Each structure stands twice: as structure tokens, then as C-alpha cells.
Amino acid sequence: MEKKNDWRAWLYLAPVIILLSVFTFYPLISTIVIAFTSDYKYLTQSGSGFDISNFAEIFASKQVDNGDGTFSTVYSDVVKYAIPNTLIIVFVTVPLSIIVSLMIAVGLNSIKAFKKIFQTIFFMPYVTNAIAVGMVFAVIFNDNGLWNYVFRSMGTHWIDQGAPASKAMVALCIYSVWHALPYKILIFLSGLQNIDKQYYQAASVDAAGKFKTFMNVTVPLLSPQILYIMITSFIGSFKEYSSIVGLFGGPGTLKNYRNMYTVVYYIYDSIAAKQVQVGCAAAVMLFIVILIFTGIQFIVSSKRVHY
């Protein structure tokens, strides 16, 4: 009987399989093929052969004569800007957003009055267009914006084309953390509401303080949600793009201001410059990096997550 019904299962799965094949599997395979194709022509979908020259171009470096008998090494935009900026975004915004969202979720969970109203307020940034929010932040951090009005002594430029990378990165990280909070708060709230109250009652009987209860009860019981948020946050931060567009502009606008490149921005910029094969090579590199980081998180968390 089960074998006779196999065709029905495949029939039910057919729409999903077709959609995944067209919009996931084919683009992934095509990207990998193009990444290893030299002299790729986008219009004719052809190239002169398979090699790793596209990857070499990403990590390329060259010696430049300084004119005084000395030479300096000039690295590609990926090595000099995109990779460092992406790593800063990942390892600064992800931990901050997780900690802040967890604190807010714990606070909201303990509020009785106006709880739904506060949840709605904190969830608003998640349903707001990322580009629109980025443009608002660009105005706030601009030379004549609110940030410089309050902290004029800290400098004159934050977002515009003359802003140093360190100052612009502060604005970008603040935006990334703020925009990432709502979804994380929602996940943590759902986890907190499913924790059995008996655990807190037992901690109260043992005279455990709030911080000790939080570290020994709340955090371990929220470990599945923390793992999920960590994985999705790391993946999202590695693919950071919309915030760059909202704050600094779309592909082609950072040619004179490349110190705010991220890997994904470089990918779009390369495709916009009709260097599709280079953009695909960067995409494959990013895919491998994300895969490695995700695997490491699963391995490290295998003994820390309690279901």
C-alpha cells in the first residue's frame, strides 16, 4: 500500500521541488560554474575555459613603486576592505544584538501592564523597509544630522563621502544592531513564555538571586533559541547589504569610498560593473565561509544546547 501511494507523495512535493530547482539549485550550480569560468561573457553565457583566475583576482596583490626606490603592496578591495568590514559587522553586531535583545525580552516578559503595546513597538523596525530605515539613519548621522548636532566635538562627518571608515562603521553597527533586535526579541519571548515556572520556583526556594537564576535557569533553557538566533544572525551579518545601500548608496556609488565595502556589496558591485565571473567567485567564497562558520557553531553548541 505504501509503495502504491509513493506517487502521491512525489506529486505533493513536485511544486516545492520545481521551485527549489529553479530558484535555488540551478542558481547555485550556475554560480559555481561561472566562478570557475575564465573570460566569461554574460550576454552569450560562454567562456574560454575553467580555471581559478577569478578567485586569484579577488585575493590579488601587487607591488607599486613609491617613486623613491621603495615598493608597497596594494591589495584588492576584497582583502583590504570587504573581508575586514564584514568580519567587524559579524563579530560586533551579532553578540551585541543577541545580548541586548535577550535583556529586552526578559524585561518585556516580566511586564504585566501594556505588554502587548511594548511588544508591538519593539517589533516595528522588523516590518519597516530596511532601505528606508537606512536612509533615515543616514540623515541622523550626516554632518548636519542629529548625531553631529549632539556630539559636534566628536567630528564633522559621519556618513558622507568624506567620512573616515571608523566613524561610518559606528553608524553602520548601530543601525545593524537596532534593525536586528525585533526578530530576536520575538524569538526570545516565545522561548521565555514556554519555560516552566517550576524552575523559577525551585530557584526561589534555594534563595538564588536574579542574576544567578538568569544564568543557571533562563539561559540554559533558552539555549535552543540562542543557537537558532546565533546561526541565522551570523548568516545574515555575513550577507549584510541593504544597510550599506541605505546608508551609503547602491552599487557603483562607493567607487571613491570603498573603505565601507562588504563582501556582498562587492559581489553586487562586480556584477554591476559587468564582471559577473568575479562576483560569482566572491559569492562562492562567501558560501564556503558561511558553511564553515555554521558547522563550527553546530559542533561547539552540541554540548551546550538543552532541548
Q: What is the pLDDT of residue 156?
A: 52
Phi/psi zone of residue 286: left (φ > 0), alpha (ψ -120 to 50 degrees), beta? alpha
Instruction: List all residues 6 or more positions away from 157 whose beta carbon is below 8 Å from its beta carbon.
Output: 143, 148, 163, 164, 167
Question: Each residue of 158-173: b (16+ CB within 10 Å) or e?
Answer: bbeeebebebbbbbbb
DSSP-derived secondary structure for 242-288: HHHHHHH-STTTTTT-GGG--HHHHHHHHHHTT-HHHHHHHHHHHHH
Taking every pair of Cα atoms in the chain, the longest distance, rounded to a whole number of angstroms, is 84
Q: How many residues does the chain have?
A: 307
| Location of C-alpha cell 516565545 | 190
Class level of CATH domain 76-301:
mainly alpha
Q: What is the pLDDT of residue 143?
A: 67
| Location of C-alpha cell 534593525 | 179
Q: Is the pTM of this model over 0.75?
A: yes
Pairwise CA distance, residues 184 & 125, whole Å: 12
Q: What is the pLDDT of residue 49?
A: 77
Q: Amino acid identity of 167?
A: K
pLDDT by residue, tens only, the chain of 307 residues: 455 667 788 888 899 999 999 999 999 999 999 888 888 777 777 777 787 888 888 887 665 556 666 655 667 788 888 889 999 999 999 999 999 999 989 888 888 777 777 777 777 777 777 777 877 877 777 767 677 766 666 555 555 545 567 777 888 888 889 888 888 998 998 898 888 888 888 888 888 888 888 888 888 889 899 999 999 999 999 988 888 887 777 665 665 556 778 899 888 888 887 788 888 999 999 999 999 999 998 888 877 776 6
Q: Amino acid identity of 178?
A: W
In the chain, which segments carry CATH 1.10.3720.10?
76-301
Pairwise CA distance, residues 105 & 124, whole Å: 15
Q: What is the pLDDT of residue 19?
A: 94
